[in-house]
Structure 1
């Protein structure tokens, strides 16, 4: 207890002092698992373990942009004995099984005896990464403490909401289970409180869900208290989810009725509406409509949106062999590249479409550029592009 409180104070105190720090990044202990726990016992600190794999893109991103940040480095170097472990090599294989590491990166905070204190994970900004350290250093806020209270039967709103927030980074299935439990136990009258509003905003809502129906039935009260922009944002997300669901049902009348209503909503995103409509045509094999409408949208609502152009192009790549559709998708992918040549996925999508259309020279050029843009941050994606280049060269 004493050492975690000290660690907590260290993480708090370094935030304002990072300008004077001499640290150049988080310093990771070099040695065996046994040796790192011995070091932690000697230093009277917790062990922070970065559980990674060689192919994990988010792991590389964290290593490059967050672990090198002065604020993060000061906090972690002062509070913990830091350790990196590849989950697919050496001691990492058994370590992964022991601590049930199923996604990467996963962050474990262990005491000197190897007992789990706190667990989190994922790609995140420095502020959130430092906040995790504070939770791990605060005995009342760790994942283990919250789990213990939950397993002992506590079901307060405060506990469940904190527990969900932590589980969302480490166990999404369990997070949803606890979320559904919290929704069930929260009475309608409590949904009108600040806690109820926090619950309504916690996850995207479906139109048929109890929380959404309650929000719409009491929209005036929520707007008066929290503002129309926030309420309309939730409403817009629910509508988009309903439209995405309608794509798979292939009920043309219902889909376009919903789409038209969405387009007339306040602050509706015209680009999103266009993307959804084009995905409807592809999903339901209305290729003539796709080509006609895609040409129009490429010069109007989507003309400056490289991410949506590229996303639609890749959707075509994975959904059809129709030549006219693929040619239109290739044109959209090329437009995305022209808008933003710094995005790896724009070039890789364009390269794959050129390859599929037997345009060897352009496919090879785009694939080689995508490899340069990607760099070494995502080994898995790099391997896919290298494989594509081999196939193009063999044409």
Structure 2
């Protein structure tokens, strides 16, 4: 019996032992639990982010969205995107899920996210909207991504913006889309009704450019330039040039590609700019070309480009001063420094109200060329102008002190 009892006990013990996990099993179980916990946290965070961000109605067709907007008396926001667009992904992954963005857009708009390309992995709700996307693409002339369209509760297009932006900027875009004075297409209605004053045309030109409406940008800017005085004309053209430059630079991949820019790329790009913006083309191309040479540290070509451009009557004092300062801080070639000295002096010679910063650049170039006494004389003139204009003379005094001590000012 004892043997039997022992056998039974042994069997019983073996059964108990077989149910207890080994160290390896415990380790695997712990890993699985950890993975499950991490996945749960990620899924919860994703779900929570979706709850806090913009709520998109992606299951209703366009006619249904329009009917819903009329019934709720609510504006419509449409995000026009493609699956291959990097800035689109930035907006959808980073900006749209932000709580403050969701709070604003969910309160003010019916939000729609519309895909404008097709892939083999498209979900059924995406496929169901192919026809709607094609209609919006043609009807509202989508020419870049992401494009943001804003409609009234009655389905009338009020405003558009193109390109990625920060959280703050995106909320400002939405806020402006609700303000008739800042709605692009509402302002076009005023233009068609006959409004033509200079302030209105100035603002409308900038709005057209921000909306990537290139043909109307050209039209409005010509009309505006015809009635503006020289100072305001210069300000408008400078602002337009900067916006065009920034927009077009993004279209060719940003700063990263400039070091590898070649003649073929330049030919294609310059032809496009001249065709799209004939009024501003040469100024934009100048900015782009000197940026290429600056990135490549090719100060010889940089200087040749500036000297060629300096004879253009549309050249601004700011442009000349900026280029002269870049040469001063980056180049030691005396021939090039002397070239920069010429356009530096031009930057302030004909100014109605002399900018002491331009004169400071001139003085610094003189000093770098070894013309110390002249440099001090011009820096003192700059300092006098600063004082007359109610500014702080300490920055120019610092330059004068360094020159007197023979120290570098660059």
Q: TM-score, normalised by structure 1?
A: 0.46
Q: Which has the larger radius of gyration?
A: 2
Structure with the larger RCO, 1 or 2 (CA within 8 Å, 6+ apart): 1
What is the TM-score when the length of structure 2 is the normalising length?
Answer: 0.45
